[in-house]
Amino acid sequence: MDRRNIALLTFILVLAALVTYVDLDIGHPAWVESLLFWRPEGARQIAIRYGLDLRGGLKVLLAADVPAGQEVDTVAMETARQIVENRVNGLGLTEPLVQAQGERRIIVELPGIEDPELAVETIRGTALLEFVDAGYMWLPEGVVIETTLGGPGGGGPTEEITPTVGLTPTVELSPTLELTATAPLTEAAPISPTAEITPTTGPHVYETILTGAGLKQVGLDRSQTNEYQIPFELYPEAAQTFAEYTASHVGQYLCIVLDKRVISCPVIREAIPNGRGTISLGNATYQEARNLAVQLHYGALPVPLRVETVSTVGPTLGELSVERSIRAGIIGLSVVLLFMLIYYRLPGALADLALLLYAGLNLALYKLVPVTLTLPGIAGFLLSAGMAVDANILVFERMKEELRTGRSLRAAIESGFERAWTSIRDSQISTLIVCAVLYFFGTNFGASMVKGFALTLAIGTVINLFTAVVATRTFIRTVFHLAGDWLRSRRWLLGV
Amino acid sequence: MFDIVEKRRWYFIGSGIVILLGIAAMLLSLVRFGTPVRLSIDFTGGSLFVFHFKGPASETAIQEVFAASGLGEAIVQRLGRPEENTWQVRTREAAPEQVQAILNGLEAEVAPVDRDLLTYETVSPIIGGEVTRAAGIAVAVASFIILAFIWWSFRRVPHAFRYGAAAIIAMLHDLLVALGFYALTGVLQGWEVDALFLTAILTVSGFSVQDTIVVFDRIRENLPRYRGEPFERVVNRSILETIHRSLATQLNAIFVMIAIILFGGATIRPFISTMLVGMLSGTYSSIFIAVPLVVVWELAAERRAAMATG
């Protein structure tokens, strides 16, 4: 046996071992999973990722509700996406997904949701911007609170707000944000909260001073020290309320809350009489500053959103589908394995080995890349497995022909692979082209199921080139080398 | 040698009958539903619900609940066996508030709904229009690519046009068979043409042309080798030489598809069934339609040539 074949065989065996290791559902150690460098940190698990149709959940497509043809501002769209994401996060689900799709659409996927109707309403509702009296307690960004205005606006369960993180503001925690009147700068040193705050238990209801409805204008500029700040202007009535409130609460915190979630908590440096003020942002980046400005500006969603499609799948239904697909797959592949074994005998058995490697490789790739499996995706995989033996069949039929014309065993094997190659290549290319067309079609939302099918079929086709040609040929050469003489007298084993 | 090409008239008649039956089903569907095949909400927009009730339900009771929520003209259908209490309802686009009202109404008026098994889908007509447009583009692009593929494969064959035309006619044959099948199941079972149907059709077209080309390829290879033989015989020889491969390959794909249809659950049954029908038709048409067509064409040309010289 030549060295190249030995090297290939070794490679295939090592690959098979690796694939088996990845495919097995044993808890893979963390350091192994951390090797998946191409995936974002925190998402490096060796596990199959199921699509919504297989694990149950809700998928909503939102679109900017503007007349067709009208341009949609990309910044406004991104802000809308962020607002929707905040609301979705408020629902407390695992792995929600909020993604921009195209220029005017947002796709929301909520796996394993209990009450899809409520979720849809939460997502669509108008955002509520509030200025909230936080007293001397600084609230960290992202905390969900209850306010005196209406019910829990963020929808879903309002988290208990006992900000466990430093209730007594420490130096590190002391906020960098300050609220000042824009008029003459005061010399007063920043007032650090001195009051002793005892941790409260249970939810505290914060008083709403103003809502976003009172904001007339919001800007973004830089202070003399080159820090970002947001100047704002209030409508006269709101300005009146604001003046009275700030005058009596200097040194306390006024939190800006969007959908009951704290965006930032500046301290009141002085009374703001004329309704014009500035929020100093300390060392915030431009991105952060702009986000806050945009959110303030568009207290409500910057673009009206319309629900374009909704689809829900009950969780049990998804499980059932997975179970059935696995059963169908095992039965279907077993028949293929049996057929190859019976029809092509020894080469068939070797092709079966290659097919098992093929299935294992696919599964491993789904886990590692990861590929999100949907029901049509599984169908695509199974179909590609059924078609995978096509390459072997082409080779074996050629081999038989060559043997019948009286060629030696060795020459028949080699020329079988050689002469079948163009047919194999052509058929793989045409399948890949079909996949490409389907994938393009599937990027359309209403047809997103198609994408999963095209993807798994394409992956399968590429892997097939390796397993059906390289792996099978290596197996056959090895067997021929080890038992060639013995085979010559038992040609029925070759299916001739 | 077993002669396949000789009996070509029978294949043409057989295919003609199948296609005519399909067209009859399409006409029936056109009369009953307004379209030759039933279109799903993927293309038309609307809402589709599947309810699993925890007790017996009736069509009229479900219809009343939908009408009370402002969704009259709901199409209500039972899925599976009666004791499964599973119903599919199709309406025009339902707003989220309406969905809530419908669920409450069904629980109150019909029977408790198993929320773990509930599915519903709403597609706005706008999206439906976009999907339809994308589908049109996909079909156009696929056709173009297939044409280019055929042209490329036969660029060195004499009378390449005949082979290309025959391959395309065979593909259209498969398309008509699949559409007819769907029109029929649409009338009988309520199956609807959705994005996945289109996927099945496009995939099958690819395989079908591929299959045809394998046989044609062999004809091209054999023509110079058996120069003395009449064209018909060479063609027949080529079919017999490639039929093993065609059948073995298709058989494996068919095994897998039948397994999915039998054991894979109802959701993708229409998808895989279309593929199976298309695949069967594709195998059949490449051997029994495409190749005999080439023979007919060749013989006609020979006759014409003989008449011209004689």
Q: How far away is chain B from the Cα of A106, in angstroms, using its nearest Cα?
A: 13
For chain A, the first-to-last Cα distance in angstroms comes to 25
Query: CB distance A61–B121 less than 8 Å?
Result: no
Compute CA distances A169 → A134, A173, A409, whole Å: 13, 6, 84
Cβ-based contacts of B91 with chain A (< 8 Å): none
Q: Is residue A366 within a helix (H) or strand (E), and if so which, with residue range?
A: helix A315-368
The minimal CB distance from A328 to the residues B114, B209, B260 is found for B260
Cβ-based contacts of A331 with chain B (< 8 Å): 259, 262-263
B263 touches chain A (CB under 8 A): yes
Q: How far apart are CA A266 and CA A131, in angstroms?
A: 10
Contact A123, A108 (CB under 8 A): yes
Q: Is residue A228 within a helix (H) or strand (E), and if so which, with residue range?
A: strand A228-234
B20 pLDDT band, cuts 50/70/90, is very high
B101 touches chain A (CB under 8 A): no
Residue B39 DSSP symbol: B
HSE toward the beta carbon, residue A88, CA cutoff 13 A = 24
Residue A221 DSSP symbol: E
Q: How far apart are CA B142 and CA B203, in angstroms?
A: 10
Instruction: Tokens for A72, please give them.
Output: 């949609």
B24 pLDDT band, cuts 50/70/90, is very high
Cβ-based contacts of B205 with chain A (< 8 Å): 434
Instruction: Tokens for B102, please give them.
Output: 């419908």
Contact A150, A255 (CB under 8 A): no
Compute CA distances A496 → A492, B216, B249, whole Å: 6, 25, 18
User: Is A151's pLDDT higher than 80?
Assistant: no
Compute CA distances A31 → A21, A37, A47, A220, A366, whole Å: 14, 11, 15, 45, 19
Burial of A197 per CB tally in 10 Å (0-12, 13-18, 19+): middle
Q: How far apart are CA A155 and CA A162, in angstroms?
A: 19
A15 pLDDT band, cuts 50/70/90, is very high
Sign of the Cα pseudo-torsion (A158, A160, A161, A163, in order)? negative
- Map residue B296 onto helix, strand or coil: helix
Q: How far apart are CA A491 and CA A484, in angstroms?
A: 11
Task: Tell me whether strands A276-280 and A228-234 are parallel, antiparallel or unpaired.
Answer: antiparallel
Sign of the Cα pseudo-torsion (A182, A183, A185, A187, in order)? negative
Q: How far apart are CA B286 and CA B284, in angstroms?
A: 6
Determine the pLDDT at residue A421.
86
For chain B, the first-to-last Cα distance in angstroms comes to 32
The mean pLDDT value for B265-275 works out to 87
Choose, out of A423, A434, A438, the residue to mutate when testing the contact with B (most B CBs < 10 Å): A434
Cβ-based contacts of B141 with chain A (< 8 Å): 437, 440
Helices (H), B110-230: 125-153, 160-189, 195-225
Contact B207, A383 (CB under 8 A): no
Choose, out of B256, B257, B272, B283, the residue to mutate when testing the contact with A (most A CBs < 10 Å): B256
A178 pLDDT band, cuts 50/70/90, is low
Query: CB distance B96–A321 less than 8 Å?
Result: no
Cβ-based contacts of A53 with chain B (< 8 Å): 267
Ranking A113-122, A139-148, B80-89, B125-134 by mean pLDDT, the lowest is A113-122
Mean pLDDT, all residues of chain A: 79
Q: Is residue B79 within a helix (H) or strand (E), and if so which, with residue range?
A: strand B75-79
Query: CB distance B122–A310 less than 8 Å?
Result: yes
Determine the pLDDT at residue B15.
94
* Size of the A and B interface in Cβ pairs below 8 Å: 213
A244 pLDDT band, cuts 50/70/90, is confident
Q: How far away is chain A from the Cα of B17, in angstroms, using its nearest Cα?
A: 30
Q: How far apart are CA A330 and CA A385, in angstroms?
A: 11
Q: How far apart are CA B258 and CA B32, in angstroms?
A: 31
- Map residue A166 onto helix, strand or coil: coil
Of A450, A55, A373, which is closest to residue B42 (Cα–Cα)? A450
Of A176, A180, A190, A178, which is closest to residue A270 (Cα–Cα)? A180
The minimal CB distance from A453 to the residues B119, B199, B267 is found for B199
A168 pLDDT band, cuts 50/70/90, is very low
B140 touches chain A (CB under 8 A): no
User: Is B305's pLDDT higher than 70?
Assistant: yes
Determine the pLDDT at residue A330.
93
Q: How far apart are CA B50 and CA B90, in angstroms?
A: 9
Residues 6+ apart with CB under 8 A from B118: A312, A314, A317, B49, B50, B51, B52
Instruction: Tokens for B88, please give them.
Output: 């599919």
Cβ-based contacts of A358 with chain B (< 8 Å): none
Would residue A282 be called left, alpha or beta, if left means φ above 0 and alpha means ψ between -120 and 50 degrees?
A: left
Query: CB distance B252–A121 less than 8 Å?
Result: no
User: Is A137's pLDDT higher than 50?
Assistant: yes
Query: CB distance B256–A382 less than 8 Å?
Result: yes
Of B160, B151, B257, which is closest to residue B209 (Cα–Cα)? B151
The minimal CB distance from B272 to the residues A315, A379, A423 is found for A379
By residue count, chain B amounts to 310
User: Is A166's pLDDT higher than 80?
Assistant: no
Cβ-based contacts of B213 with chain A (< 8 Å): 426
Higher pLDDT, A204 or A34: A34
The minimal CB distance from B118 to the residues A121, A314, A328 is found for A314
Contact A449, A376 (CB under 8 A): yes
Of A226, A200, A56, A218, which is closest to residue A134 (Cα–Cα)? A200
Choose, out of A65, A117, A120, A435, the residue to mutate when testing the contact with B (most B CBs < 10 Å): A117
Q: How far apart are CA A340 and CA B251, in angstroms?
A: 11
Query: CB distance B264–A437 less than 8 Å?
Result: no
Q: How far apart are CA B79 and CA B189, in angstroms?
A: 9
Cβ-based contacts of A124 with chain B (< 8 Å): 96
A90 pLDDT band, cuts 50/70/90, is low
CA dihedral angle for residue A405, residue A410, residue A411, residue A417, rounded to 10 degrees: 100
Determine the pLDDT at residue A119.
75
Compute CA distances A401 → A279, A319, B3, B52, whole Å: 84, 48, 20, 56
ipTM of predicted assembly, 2 dp: 0.86
A181 pLDDT band, cuts 50/70/90, is low
In this prediction the pTM is 0.76
Determine the pLDDT at residue B268.
85
Cβ-based contacts of A457 with chain B (< 8 Å): 203
Contact A380, A452 (CB under 8 A): yes
Type of residue at A8:
L
Determine the pLDDT at residue A246.
86
B262 touches chain A (CB under 8 A): yes
B104 touches chain A (CB under 8 A): no
Q: Which residues pair with A305 in a beta bridge?
A: A64
The minimal CB distance from A383 to the residues B116, B209, B256 is found for B256
Q: How far apart are CA B270 and CA A249, in angstroms?
A: 68
The minimal CB distance from B263 to the residues A313, A327, A387 is found for A327
Ranking A207-211, A338-342, A467-471, B30-34 by mean pLDDT, the lowest is A207-211
Give the Cβ contact number of residue A23 at 10 Å: 18
Give the Cβ contact number of residue A403 at 10 Å: 19
Max Cα–Cα distance, chain A, nearest Å: 105
B153 touches chain A (CB under 8 A): yes
Residues 6+ apart with CB under 8 A from B5: B232, B235, B236, B239, B291, B292, B295
Give the Cβ contact number of residue A489 at 10 Å: 7
Determine the pLDDT at residue B161.
84
Query: CB distance B196–A376 less than 8 Å?
Result: yes
Cβ-based contacts of B258 with chain A (< 8 Å): 332
The mean pLDDT value for A156-166 works out to 34
Query: CB distance B198–A314 less than 8 Å?
Result: no
Query: CB distance A387–B249 less than 8 Å?
Result: yes
**pLDDT tens, position by position, A366-375:** 999 888 888 8
**pLDDT tens, position by position, B42-51:** 888 899 998 8
The minimal CB distance from A315 to the residues B116, B202, B248 is found for B116
Cβ-based contacts of B118 with chain A (< 8 Å): 312, 314, 317
Max Cα–Cα distance, chain B, nearest Å: 87
Q: Which residues pair with B75 in a beta bridge?
A: B90
Q: How far away is chain B from the Cα of A84, in angstroms, using its nearest Cα?
A: 17
Cβ-based contacts of A309 with chain B (< 8 Å): 121-124, 127
Determine the pLDDT at residue B17.
95
Q: How far away is chain B from the Cα of A446, in angstroms, using its nearest Cα?
A: 6
Query: CB distance A307–B268 less than 8 Å?
Result: no
Residues 6+ apart with CB under 8 A from A425: none
B167 touches chain A (CB under 8 A): no
Residue appearing with tokens 């066996």: B81
How many whole angstroms from its chain centre is CA A186? 48
User: Is B119's pLDDT higher than 70?
Assistant: yes
B258 touches chain A (CB under 8 A): yes
Q: How far apart are CA A117 and CA B265, in angstroms?
A: 26
Nearest CA in chain B to A122: B96
Tell me the residue ranges of DSSP E strands in A12-93: 49-50, 57-64
Residues 6+ apart with CB under 8 A from B229: B237
B302 touches chain A (CB under 8 A): no
HSE toward the beta carbon, residue A405, CA cutoff 13 A = 11
The mean pLDDT value for A281-309 works out to 72
Nearest CA in chain A to B243: A397
**pLDDT tens, position by position, A398-429:** 888 888 888 888 888 888 888 888 878 878 88
Contact A132, A242 (CB under 8 A): no
Q: How far apart are CA A167 and CA A173, in angstroms?
A: 10
